Each structure stands twice: as C-alpha cells, then as structure tokens.
Amino acid sequence: MHRKRLFCTISIFLCALFSSRAQNLDSLAVGYERIVFEGAGLAETNDALLAKAGCYKQLGRYRDASATLARVRLFALSPEERTAVQYQQELCWFLAGDFKQAASLIEEVGDGSSDALLLHALALAYNGQYDESEIYAARFISWDGPSERLPELLALYASHPRVPDATTSMVLSFFPPLGHFYNGEIGEGLLSGSLNLAALAFTVANFVSGYWVTGLIGGGIALNYTYMGNLQRTSALVEKHRVNDPIAFGDKLRSFLLQ
Amino acid sequence: MKRLAIVAAVLLAGTSAFAQTGGRELLRDADFSGQIIKETPPAGANCAETALWSLRRQLTGRDLYEPANYMFVRQAIHEIGFIPAVFATSDRILRDTKIGTVSAIPNPVDGRIHEGPEAYSLKRAAGRSSAADPDPSGAFGSRKGRGPACGEAPLRGLVQGSSPAAHWVSQDYDFVQYLIDNDLKKDARQLLFGGDFQPSDTLTFLRGWTLYQLKELEQANKYLGAVSSASAFYDKAFFYSNAVSAHLGDYVSPAARLEAYSGPYAELKGVQLAGFALLRDDPDAFKSAAGAFRYNDFKLATAEHELDDIFELRYDKPQKSPLLAAAASALIPGLGKIYAGQLGEGISTFLITGAMGGITAEHWIKDGPKDWKTIVPAVLTGILYIGNIYGSYMSVSIYNSHLYDAQETAVLYNIHIPLRSVFQ
C-alpha cells in the first residue's frame, strides 16, 4: 500500500514538474506538500519543504516561503545545510518586509559568506540598528581585501538618521513646540506653538479682564485641545520617524552596497 | 522503491537549488515603499479641507467619526442642504467627544464610526420610525440584492471537461482536509482548481468549501449552491450556502430555497428561516418559522433564544418618538438624546451647550446684549442649541439604525455559527 502511494506521489510530482511553467510553481508547491502529507522520510520531507519554499520565493510569496522554511526539521540537516536554510529564511523575511524577524536570525546564520554579511547589514539597517549594521557592511565591502569605498561607506553611516527617543520626545512635548522641533518638524512645531500660545493668551486675557467663566471654560477647552493635541502629535511623529527613517536610510545603503 | 525515492530526491534537490539562486537580484529589486507611513489629506479634499486636516493633526479629540467633521460639512451641504448641514455638523461636534462616544461601537475593521450625512436625512428618519415598515429604502432594503442571488447566474466553469487521465477528487479528500486544517488553504485552492479531476459533487463541494475558508464568499456561494441533492455533502453545502448568501445581502432566494427543503435538519431550517425573516423585517414570517424552535438541542438553543430576543426587542417594545426627543432637548439640551438611548451623547451635548451658554451669559451681564463679545458666543450657542434639537429628533432614527445594524450582525451570526456545531 505504502509503495503504491509513494509511486502515485512521485507520478504526480513528475507531472507537475514537467507541466507548463506559468501554472508550474503553484502546482509544484502543492506537489511538494503532498510528499510531506504522504509521510515521506525526514530527508525527503525536508527536501520537499525546501523546494516548496523555493516555489513560493519564485512567486514572490516571501512570507509563505518563510513560513514553509520554518517547518524544515533543522535537526536532520548538516551544519552547512542548516545555515543555508536559515539564510534563505532571513532573506525571505527581509524581502517580506519583516526586518525584525530577519535580524533575529543573524546569529544563527553566522557570517560565513559575503551574501550573509550583505543581508545582515541590510536587515539591521532597515531595523534601525545602524551601529551593528555598519560592522557587517564594512566587512562585506572588505570581503575580497581592503576596499577604496570604505571611507564613503563610513561617511554614509555617519549621516544615518537619529533614532528619536520616545521618552525625551515626550518630556520635551510638555513644552510645546519643543517636541515637534526634536522630531525635526519645524513647520508643524510653529503651528502647534502658535495654537498653544493663542489658547493660553485667550485664557489669561479673560482672567485678567475678570471674565472668569469664559477664561475657565473657554480657555480650558481650547488649551485641552491644543496642549493635549501637541502631546499626541509628538508621539505620532516619533512613530513616523521610527518607521520611515530606517527605510529611507536602508534604501540608500542598499543601492551603495549593491553598486 | 528505494530507486524511486532517490529519483524524487534528486529532482527535489535540483528544483530547490534552481529556486534559491539570485538572492542579490532580489535584494536589489525589493521595494519597501508600501511600509512607509504616509500622511495625506483625505481623498477629494479641497484647499480649505486640506488646511483643516493639517490643523486637525495638531489638536486632540476622539476623531472617531468617518468622514471627519471637516469633510462631513461639504458632503452634508450637498446631500441634505445648507441649513440642515449646519445643524447636523453642530450636532456631530457635540457628539464627537470622549464622553459622547463612550458607548459607541466602532467598526471592528478600522476602529471608526462610519456615519455620513444620510444619517441626518429626514426621509430616512421617516422610513425608520416605523419598525414594521417594509420600505426597501431603509438600511435593510438597501442591502437587498447587493450580492448575487443563489444560483441565478449560469455557473460557468463549475463543470469542466476532463482528460482521460483525470481522477476522482474523493481520492484526494484527506489531502484537501489536511491542507485546510493546516492553514494551507491557498494550496488547497490550487489543487482543486489546477488539478485534473473528474467533475463531481464532491469536487464542487470541496471547491466551495475551500473558497469559503478563504473568505471568497461570492465564488464560494456559487459552488456550494451547485451541489446536487444526491450528494452526501448536500445538507452542509445547502445550509452554508444560505449563510453565505445572507452575508452577501441576499435575503430572499435562500428563504425560498429553505421553504422547499425537506431534509433531516428541520430545526436548523427553522432557525435559518427565522433569521432571514428578521433580516427581511417580516415579523409574520418570523412567527411562522419560530414554530420549529424546540430549545432543547444545545447546538441550536442559544441561537433560538437570541433570535427570540431580537424579535421581542424590535417588535414588542414601543417605538421611541422623534418629536418627544426633540421637545426634551429643547427643554434641557441633551435630554432628548438620553431619551433616545444615547446617555454619553446627551451628557456631552449638555456640557458643551451649557458651557457656551455660560460664556454668553457672562458677557451679556458684563458687556450688554449688543456687544460683539456677547453676540459671537450667543450665535454659536444658538447654532449648537438648535443643532442639539435637530440632532435629538434625528437621534431616534440614528439609534434605530445602529440598533438594526447591531441586530443584523447578531442575526447573521446566529444563522451561521451553529452550522459549525451541527456539521462538525
């Protein structure tokens, strides 16, 4: 019975392999999954999963490829094979845009090849870990010996975006518009500062003129909107820079390293 | 056998090696621009609205309503006229506060409350004030016909030609189940639609079931609805098809099919028929269908009780009067909203209108009624006050609309979820 099933599996696999290319990869992926389902041995299962991940990679389904690679039984592989699989996993996470997951695999992948160094440098840069990234990038361009481009690379890293500190930003935002200025948003900061100043002036002017109700209620509402709004906006700006700046820097680094 | 395994392993390794080349090219071509946080004004915003959008980012507030208030004004003027738009916007401002939105139920997808100017349409309010009115212009009616009626279109592609080498899908049934159970639904779809299978009811069912699992409801409905009554999967496909039709907004044709059903699931038929009766706003049909409720099958009892509760809430309780709500808000700002069931909105309205009234009174006393410092807050207070009355009149309709939406969601849930237990 088992022999018959295996024969059937391989027949289907061969049909899938030699079918037209457009449908090929999707069908192949299913064919490989069938091998896993049919209860193949450990080595065949791993091969099938690797090949299936390869299909997904070719199709641009990097997240699916990473998930498939995560199912590979690493304990059954040699150290070299394990490193290769984990490199592919890191690459797929990176291409899927999950830089944190990609960076988490750096230690397992190690630094045994220039491709690995390149990928580590990029994963760390896109994840906002510039200092660690710089080390891998420098080792990458010096892989074949001392590189003339090293000073240029160091200059690029010297101009990396500053990672805004959420606590500093929050403390500064208590004094509008310092939080905005800290995040590099001068125009928005001036607008926020003007709104807060106007609300404060309105409140004080009413108190000084003896309009207690207007000062207390009207000024209170206005200040609540402008001051609390300043705090919220500063927090949103930190998040925006935390996400956007590493991507912008990573794009620059990528084009530099892949020249 | 060993040789066959070796052949397979070699082929696998070859394909694997082929697939994993070109890492640097992939790195070069990668595009991460989709991950960047972009801040752009709402689509279609004019200069003034863009300026307000820039300003709004610097201010606090719940900002829960969609469209935002500064976008709402223009739409409201266009849809319900200038003066109602002014009052509707002022009512919206009174409601769009922390207290006002405390009991609001935002959309689970984007966390916002979707409420456009149509909520303030007097025509709609009149249609809503009578719960038993089967006017199809209401929210229920507007959903009718949104999706395709079951089986109305020719099911092209359901029955395909097959080559002599094609095999029966029942041979792959376990594999399809394995793919679905292991969250490999896309693989299951690829297998069922890309494989060369003999046409059969099992194939049609598995295709429909896989598409249902992938939440491709329109296509799933076509396949599930096409399973013939001779199939072992007929009952499951039939009831799931009805539930999917309901989610697609078709409440008529599934009810007709259910009436004709004479299979073994009579009580489940009653539950679905009762649900469809509520979705169609047909109390008589509900009473007739609810006759099949037995309340002793644990798989269906909860759904039966909940449908009964919705019926009672909708048809047995007295309807609230928009005029009474307006009169109450004229007497005390916000009271009409509390009467309509919106406590948070009522308190918010009272506090804001009261605060503006207090500011106006202070200036009136100190500066006299003709001073501009009195006139400006007085005009604003007047607009808010009238907006509060107008909003309270409309709030009965808005409340009913929200209630109907919540009930509709509950009904859809109750004609769908019990299927998981029944067809385990």
Q: In angstroms, rounded to a whole number, what is the distance separating the alpha carbons of residues A67 and A90?
A: 11
Residue of chain B whose alpha carbon sits nearest to that of A210: B366
Q: Measured at the alpha carbon of residue B33, what is the angle toward residues B30 and B38, in degrees to the nearest 5?
A: 170
pLDDT at position B202, please? 92
* Token representation of residue A58: 């070719």
CB contact under 8 A, A50 and B9: no
Strands (E), chain A: none
Per CB-CB distance under 8 Å, the chain B contacts of A43 are 9
pLDDT at position B227, please? 94
Residue of chain A whose alpha carbon sits nearest to that of B10: A47
**For residue B282, what is the enclosing H or E element?**
none
Q: Are B120 and B90 in contact (CB under 8 A)?
A: no
**Main-chain phi, psi angles of A157, to 5 degrees:** -70, -30
Q: Is A76 on the interface with B (CB under 8 A)?
A: no
CB count, 10 Å around CB of B102?
A: 14
Q: In angstroms, rounded to a whole number, what is the distance separating the alpha carbons of residues B230 and B228?
A: 5
Q: CA of B40 to nearest chain A CA: how many angstroms apart?
A: 13
Residue B197: DSSP 8-state: B
CB contact under 8 A, B194 and A23: yes
Q: CA of A136 to nearest chain B CA: how many angstroms apart?
A: 16
Per CB-CB distance under 8 Å, the chain A contacts of B187 are 29-30, 33
> Would you mind telling me the total number of residues written for chain A in this entry?
259
Tens place of pLDDT for every residue, chain A, 259 residues?
444 444 444 444 444 444 445 458 888 999 999 999 998 889 999 999 999 999 999 999 999 999 999 999 999 999 999 999 999 999 999 999 999 999 999 999 999 899 999 999 999 999 999 999 999 999 999 998 999 999 999 999 999 998 889 999 999 999 999 999 999 999 999 999 999 999 999 999 999 999 999 999 999 989 988 999 999 999 999 999 999 999 999 999 999 999 8
Per CB-CB distance under 8 Å, the chain A contacts of B186 are 64
The pTM of this model reads 0.73
CB contact under 8 A, A240 and B39: yes
CB contact under 8 A, A54 and B9: no
DSSP letters along B166-195, please? Answer: -B-GGGGHHHHHHHHHTT-HHHHHHHHHHS
Q: CA of A149 to nearest chain B CA: how many angstroms apart?
A: 19
Coil, strand or helix at B66? strand
pLDDT at position B122, please? 63
Cα-trace Rg, chain A: 28
CB contact under 8 A, B28 and A191: no
Q: What is the pLDDT of residues B37-50, one digit of tens each?
A: 988 888 888 898 89
Domain coordinates in residue numbering, chain B: 62-130+319-424, 169-317
Per CB-CB distance under 8 Å, the chain B contacts of A225 are 59-61
Q: Check whether B10 has a pLDDT greater than 90.
A: no
Q: CA of B186 to nearest chain A CA: how many angstroms apart?
A: 9
Q: Which of residues 144-173 of A touch B (CB under 8 A)?
A: none
Cβ-based neighbours of B8, under 8 Å, separated by 6 or more: A9, A10, A13, A35, A44
Q: What is the pLDDT of residues B308-328, one digit of tens each?
A: 999 998 887 777 888 999 999
Fold category of B169-317 in CATH = 1.25.40
Q: Which of residues 185-214 of A touch B (CB under 8 A)?
A: 188, 191-192, 195, 210-214
Place of tokens 């609300």: A199
Task: Tell me the ipTM for this assembly.
Answer: 0.79
Q: What is the pLDDT of residues A145-187, one digit of tens each?
A: 999 999 999 999 999 998 889 999 999 999 999 999 999 999 9
Select the residue from A7, A15, A33 to test the B interface by mutation, using most B Cβ atoms within 10 A: A33
* Token representation of residue B287: 């009473």
Q: Which of residues 81-120 of A touch B (CB under 8 A)?
A: 88, 91, 94-95, 97, 115, 118-119
CB contact under 8 A, B366 and A17: no
Per CB-CB distance under 8 Å, the chain B contacts of A250 are 32
CB contact under 8 A, B58 and A213: no
Q: Who has greater pLDDT, B151 or A195?
A: A195
Q: Are B278 and B255 in contact (CB under 8 A)?
A: no
Q: In angstroms, rounded to a whole number, what is the distance separating the alpha carbons of residues A55 and A65?
A: 8
Q: CA of B152 to nearest chain A CA: how many angstroms apart?
A: 31
Per CB-CB distance under 8 Å, the chain A contacts of B175 are 34, 37
